[in-house]
Protein backbone atom coordinates (compact mmCIF):
# COMPACT_ATOMS: atom_id res chain seq x y z
CA UNK A 1 0.00 0.00 0.00
CA UNK A 2 1.21 3.53 -0.84
CA UNK A 3 1.07 6.61 1.36
CA UNK A 4 -1.36 9.32 0.26
CA UNK A 5 -1.62 13.06 0.86
CA UNK A 6 -4.38 15.54 0.10
CA UNK A 7 -3.78 19.09 -1.07
CA UNK A 8 -4.60 21.60 1.65
CA UNK A 9 -4.77 18.94 4.36
CA UNK A 10 -2.30 19.66 7.13
CA UNK A 11 -0.11 16.78 8.25
CA UNK A 12 -0.49 16.25 12.00
CA UNK A 13 2.82 15.22 13.62
CA UNK A 14 2.60 11.69 14.97
CA UNK A 15 -0.70 10.95 13.23
CA UNK A 16 -0.84 7.90 10.97
CA UNK A 17 -0.34 8.67 7.28
CA UNK A 18 -3.27 7.57 5.07
CA UNK A 19 -2.43 4.61 2.87
CA UNK A 20 -4.22 3.13 -0.10
CA UNK A 21 -3.98 0.34 -2.60
CA UNK A 22 -3.08 1.35 -6.15
CA UNK A 23 -5.26 0.06 -8.97
CA UNK A 24 -5.74 0.89 -12.63
CA UNK A 25 -9.17 0.75 -14.25
CA UNK A 26 -10.81 1.40 -17.60
CA UNK A 27 -13.95 3.59 -17.92
CA UNK A 28 -16.19 0.50 -18.09
CA UNK A 29 -14.63 -1.33 -15.14
CA UNK A 30 -16.94 -0.08 -12.39
CA UNK A 31 -20.08 -1.06 -14.31
CA UNK A 32 -18.67 -4.45 -15.21
CA UNK A 33 -17.59 -5.15 -11.62
CA UNK A 34 -20.87 -3.87 -10.17
CA UNK A 35 -19.17 -1.15 -8.10
CA UNK A 36 -21.54 1.83 -7.64
CA UNK A 37 -20.36 5.37 -8.32
CA UNK A 38 -21.43 7.33 -5.23
CA UNK A 39 -20.20 10.79 -6.28
CA UNK A 40 -18.83 12.36 -9.42
CA UNK A 41 -18.46 10.17 -12.49
CA UNK A 42 -16.35 7.22 -13.69
CA UNK A 43 -13.40 7.58 -16.00
CA UNK A 44 -14.07 8.64 -19.60
CA UNK A 45 -12.42 7.89 -22.92
CA UNK A 46 -10.81 11.33 -22.83
CA UNK A 47 -8.72 10.43 -19.76
CA UNK A 48 -5.73 9.55 -21.92
CA UNK A 49 -2.00 9.61 -21.30
CA UNK A 50 -1.70 13.31 -22.23
CA UNK A 51 -4.85 14.43 -20.43
CA UNK A 52 -4.83 15.94 -16.90
CA UNK A 53 -4.18 13.32 -14.24
CA UNK A 54 -7.34 12.09 -12.51
CA UNK A 55 -8.19 9.47 -9.90
CA UNK A 56 -11.20 7.86 -8.30
CA UNK A 57 -11.27 7.04 -4.57
CA UNK A 58 -13.30 4.44 -2.79
CA UNK A 59 -15.53 5.59 0.08
CA UNK A 60 -13.15 4.45 2.83
CA UNK A 61 -10.24 6.48 1.46
CA UNK A 62 -12.43 9.50 0.64
CA UNK A 63 -13.68 9.60 4.25
CA UNK A 64 -10.10 9.46 5.52
CA UNK A 65 -8.70 12.21 3.28
CA UNK A 66 -11.74 14.49 3.12
CA UNK A 67 -13.88 13.90 6.22
CA UNK A 68 -15.33 17.41 6.24
CA UNK A 69 -15.60 18.36 2.56
CA UNK A 70 -16.64 17.07 -0.83
CA UNK A 71 -13.73 15.15 -2.36
CA UNK A 72 -14.80 15.86 -5.95
CA UNK A 73 -12.42 18.40 -7.47
CA UNK A 74 -9.83 18.01 -4.70
CA UNK A 75 -6.30 16.90 -5.51
CA UNK A 76 -4.30 14.02 -4.07
CA UNK A 77 -0.82 12.61 -4.61
CA UNK A 78 1.19 9.61 -3.56
CA UNK A 79 4.04 10.21 -1.16
CA UNK A 80 6.67 8.33 0.80
CA UNK A 81 10.18 7.00 0.24
CA UNK A 82 8.91 3.89 -1.53
CA UNK A 83 8.09 5.98 -4.64
CA UNK A 84 11.78 6.35 -5.45
CA UNK A 85 12.11 2.60 -5.84
CA UNK A 86 9.08 2.11 -8.10
CA UNK A 87 9.63 5.09 -10.42
CA UNK A 88 6.66 7.27 -9.41
CA UNK A 89 6.73 11.03 -8.86
CA UNK A 90 5.95 12.19 -5.34
CA UNK A 91 4.42 15.59 -6.08
CA UNK A 92 2.37 14.65 -9.14
CA UNK A 93 -1.09 15.84 -8.14
CA UNK A 94 -4.20 14.14 -9.47
CA UNK A 95 -7.74 15.49 -9.39
CA UNK A 96 -10.48 13.41 -7.78
CA UNK A 97 -13.33 12.95 -10.26
CA UNK A 98 -15.35 10.28 -8.48
CA UNK A 99 -16.00 8.26 -5.34
CA UNK A 100 -17.07 4.62 -5.62
CA UNK A 101 -18.40 2.10 -3.14
CA UNK A 102 -16.17 -0.10 -1.03
CA UNK A 103 -15.39 -3.70 -1.95
CA UNK A 104 -14.39 -6.47 0.45
CA UNK A 105 -11.48 -7.89 -1.50
CA UNK A 106 -9.90 -9.37 1.63
CA UNK A 107 -13.00 -11.43 2.40
CA UNK A 108 -16.52 -10.83 3.67
CA UNK A 109 -15.26 -10.71 7.25
CA UNK A 110 -12.49 -8.16 6.53
CA UNK A 111 -12.85 -4.40 6.65
CA UNK A 112 -12.77 -2.59 3.28
CA UNK A 113 -9.33 -1.36 2.28
CA UNK A 114 -8.73 2.23 1.10
CA UNK A 115 -8.24 2.15 -2.68
CA UNK A 116 -7.16 4.66 -5.32
CA UNK A 117 -8.11 4.02 -8.96
CA UNK A 118 -6.21 5.56 -11.85
CA UNK A 119 -7.21 5.46 -15.53
CA UNK A 120 -5.58 2.56 -17.30
CA UNK A 121 -4.20 4.94 -19.97
CA UNK A 122 -2.49 7.04 -17.27
CA UNK A 123 -1.26 4.14 -15.16
CA UNK A 124 2.40 3.77 -14.27
CA UNK A 125 1.88 0.00 -14.06
CA UNK A 126 -0.48 -0.99 -16.91
CA UNK A 127 -1.16 -4.56 -15.79
CA UNK A 128 -4.24 -6.16 -14.35
CA UNK A 129 -7.16 -8.41 -15.13
CA UNK A 130 -10.39 -8.39 -17.11
CA UNK A 131 -13.78 -8.05 -15.45
CA UNK A 132 -16.53 -9.25 -17.79
CA UNK A 133 -20.26 -8.75 -17.20
CA UNK A 134 -22.61 -11.04 -19.12
CA UNK A 135 -26.35 -11.54 -19.26
CA UNK A 136 -25.99 -15.06 -20.58
CA UNK A 137 -24.64 -18.29 -19.15
CA UNK A 138 -21.30 -17.55 -17.49
CA UNK A 139 -20.08 -21.04 -18.43
CA UNK A 140 -20.02 -19.94 -22.08
CA UNK A 141 -18.25 -16.63 -21.42
CA UNK A 142 -14.90 -17.99 -20.24
CA UNK A 143 -14.05 -19.98 -23.41
CA UNK A 144 -15.09 -17.10 -25.68
CA UNK A 145 -13.12 -14.53 -23.68
CA UNK A 146 -10.07 -16.79 -23.57
CA UNK A 147 -10.20 -17.23 -27.34
CA UNK A 148 -10.35 -13.45 -27.93
CA UNK A 149 -7.41 -12.82 -25.60
CA UNK A 150 -5.39 -15.54 -27.33
CA UNK A 151 -5.98 -13.84 -30.67
CA UNK A 152 -4.99 -10.39 -29.37
CA UNK A 153 -2.07 -11.42 -27.14
CA UNK A 154 -1.06 -15.03 -27.85
CA UNK A 155 2.00 -14.91 -25.56
CA UNK A 156 0.20 -13.60 -22.47
CA UNK A 157 -0.61 -16.15 -19.74
CA UNK A 158 -4.25 -16.50 -18.69
CA UNK A 159 -4.85 -17.41 -15.06
CA UNK A 160 -7.69 -17.53 -12.53
CA UNK A 161 -10.69 -17.44 -14.85
CA UNK A 162 -13.45 -17.39 -12.23
CA UNK A 163 -16.92 -15.98 -11.76
CA UNK A 164 -17.70 -13.60 -8.91
CA UNK A 165 -19.78 -16.37 -7.33
CA UNK A 166 -16.82 -18.74 -7.42
CA UNK A 167 -14.57 -16.12 -5.88
CA UNK A 168 -17.07 -15.51 -3.10
CA UNK A 169 -17.51 -19.24 -2.46
CA UNK A 170 -13.73 -19.68 -2.29
CA UNK A 171 -13.49 -16.82 0.19
CA UNK A 172 -16.20 -18.07 2.55
CA UNK A 173 -15.30 -21.76 2.20
CA UNK A 174 -13.26 -22.07 5.43
CA UNK A 175 -15.82 -20.07 7.42
CA UNK A 176 -18.66 -22.14 6.01
CA UNK A 177 -16.88 -25.36 7.00
CA UNK A 178 -16.43 -24.09 10.56
CA UNK A 179 -20.07 -23.02 10.74
CA UNK A 180 -21.20 -26.41 9.40
CA UNK A 181 -19.15 -28.25 12.02
CA UNK A 182 -20.47 -26.05 14.82
CA UNK A 183 -24.02 -26.52 13.52
CA UNK A 184 -23.56 -30.30 13.36
CA UNK A 185 -22.35 -30.40 16.95
CA UNK A 186 -25.26 -28.16 17.96
CA UNK A 187 -27.74 -30.52 16.28
CA UNK A 188 -26.12 -33.47 18.03
CA UNK A 189 -26.41 -31.65 21.36
CA UNK A 190 -30.09 -30.97 20.62
CA UNK A 191 -30.75 -34.68 20.00
CA UNK A 192 -28.87 -35.64 23.18
CA UNK A 193 -30.85 -33.05 25.15
CA UNK A 194 -34.16 -34.40 23.82
CA UNK A 195 -33.17 -37.96 24.70
CA UNK A 196 -32.05 -36.77 28.12
CA UNK A 197 -35.36 -35.04 28.82
CA UNK A 198 -37.29 -38.15 27.77
CA UNK A 199 -35.05 -40.37 29.91
CA UNK A 200 -35.43 -38.17 33.00
CA UNK A 201 -39.22 -38.08 32.64
CA UNK A 202 -39.36 -41.85 32.06
CA UNK A 203 -37.26 -42.49 35.16
CA UNK A 204 -39.42 -40.10 37.21
CA UNK A 205 -42.58 -41.88 36.11
CA UNK A 206 -41.19 -45.38 36.73
CA UNK A 207 -39.96 -44.38 40.19
CA UNK A 208 -43.44 -43.19 41.18
CA UNK A 209 -45.49 -45.99 39.65
CA UNK A 210 -47.07 -46.94 43.00
CA UNK A 211 -48.00 -43.33 43.73
CA UNK A 212 -49.55 -43.00 40.28
CA UNK A 213 -51.63 -46.14 40.89
CA UNK A 214 -52.95 -44.81 44.17
CA UNK A 215 -53.81 -41.45 42.65
CA UNK A 216 -55.59 -43.07 39.71
CA UNK A 217 -57.63 -45.27 42.05
CA UNK A 218 -58.66 -42.31 44.21
CA UNK A 219 -59.24 -39.85 41.34
CA UNK A 220 -59.19 -41.64 37.95
CA UNK A 221 -58.62 -38.51 35.88
CA UNK A 222 -55.71 -37.42 33.76
CA UNK A 223 -55.13 -34.36 35.95
CA UNK A 224 -54.52 -36.51 39.00
CA UNK A 225 -51.10 -37.67 37.79
CA UNK A 226 -50.01 -34.86 35.51
CA UNK A 227 -49.43 -31.15 35.90
CA UNK A 228 -47.72 -30.54 39.23
CA UNK A 229 -46.62 -34.18 39.45
CA UNK A 230 -44.46 -33.93 36.32
CA UNK A 231 -43.85 -30.19 35.80
CA UNK A 232 -42.33 -30.39 32.32
CA UNK A 233 -43.32 -26.84 31.44
CA UNK A 234 -41.50 -25.44 34.47
CA UNK A 235 -38.38 -27.46 33.68
CA UNK A 236 -38.39 -26.30 30.06
CA UNK A 237 -38.89 -22.66 31.10
CA UNK A 238 -35.97 -22.83 33.54
CA UNK A 239 -33.78 -24.43 30.88
CA UNK A 240 -34.69 -21.74 28.33
CA UNK A 241 -33.84 -18.94 30.73
CA UNK A 242 -30.47 -20.51 31.53
CA UNK A 243 -29.82 -21.08 27.83
CA UNK A 244 -30.60 -17.48 26.85
CA UNK A 245 -28.32 -16.13 29.58
CA UNK A 246 -25.54 -18.50 28.52
CA UNK A 247 -25.90 -17.62 24.83
CA UNK A 248 -25.70 -13.89 25.55
CA UNK A 249 -22.59 -14.41 27.67
CA UNK A 250 -20.81 -16.51 25.01
CA UNK A 251 -21.97 -14.56 21.93
CA UNK A 252 -18.55 -12.94 21.49
CA UNK A 253 -16.92 -16.36 21.14
CA UNK A 254 -18.75 -17.16 17.89
CA UNK A 255 -18.67 -13.66 16.41
CA UNK A 256 -15.69 -14.65 14.24
CA UNK A 257 -17.84 -17.27 12.49
CA UNK A 258 -20.61 -14.81 11.61
CA UNK A 259 -20.98 -12.20 8.89
CA UNK A 260 -23.79 -9.70 8.77
CA UNK A 261 -25.43 -11.24 11.86
CA UNK A 262 -24.57 -10.28 15.46
CA UNK A 263 -23.94 -13.00 18.00
CA UNK A 264 -27.06 -11.93 19.92
CA UNK A 265 -29.35 -11.76 16.89
CA UNK A 266 -32.93 -11.64 18.28
CA UNK A 267 -34.43 -13.53 15.32
CA UNK A 268 -32.02 -16.41 15.86
CA UNK A 269 -32.68 -16.46 19.61
CA UNK A 270 -36.46 -16.54 19.11
CA UNK A 271 -36.15 -19.34 16.54
CA UNK A 272 -33.93 -21.40 18.86
CA UNK A 273 -36.30 -20.80 21.78
CA UNK A 274 -39.19 -22.08 19.66
CA UNK A 275 -37.32 -25.22 18.61
CA UNK A 276 -36.18 -25.97 22.16
CA UNK A 277 -39.69 -25.44 23.49
CA UNK A 278 -41.09 -27.94 20.99
CA UNK A 279 -38.34 -30.45 21.81
CA UNK A 280 -38.91 -29.99 25.53
Q: pLDDT, tens digit, for every residue of 231-277?
A: 667 777 888 888 888 888 887 777 766 777 777 788 888 888 888 88
- Quote the CA–CA distance of 204 and 209 in Å, as a whole number: 9
Angle 149-152-157 from CA coordinates, rounded to 5°? 50
- Quote the CA–CA distance of 214 and 40 in Å, as a whole number: 85
Other beta carbons within 10 angstroms of residue 69's beta carbon come to 12
pLDDT of residue 267: 85
Which residues on neighbouring strands pair with residue 78, listed in sequence order? 4
Helices (H), 208-231: 209-218
Q: 20 and 40 in contact (C-beta within 8 Å)?
A: no
Contacts 24+ apart (CB under 8 A), 244-247: 244/269, 244/273, 247/272
Which residues on neighbouring strands pair with residue 23, listed in sequence order? 117
Q: pLDDT tens for residues 88-128?
A: 666 788 899 999 998 887 777 677 889 889 888 887 766 67
pLDDT of residue 99: 93
Residue boundaries of the structural domains of the chain: 2-128, 172-279
Amino acid sequence: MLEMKAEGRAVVPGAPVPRSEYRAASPEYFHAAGIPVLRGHPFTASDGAKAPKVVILNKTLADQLFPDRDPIGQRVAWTGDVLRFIGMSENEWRTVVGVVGDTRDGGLDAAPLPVTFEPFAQSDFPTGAFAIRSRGDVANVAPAATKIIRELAPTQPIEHVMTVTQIREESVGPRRLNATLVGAFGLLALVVAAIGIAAVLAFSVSARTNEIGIRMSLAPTRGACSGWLFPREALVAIGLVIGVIGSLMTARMIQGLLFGVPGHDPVTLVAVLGVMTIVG
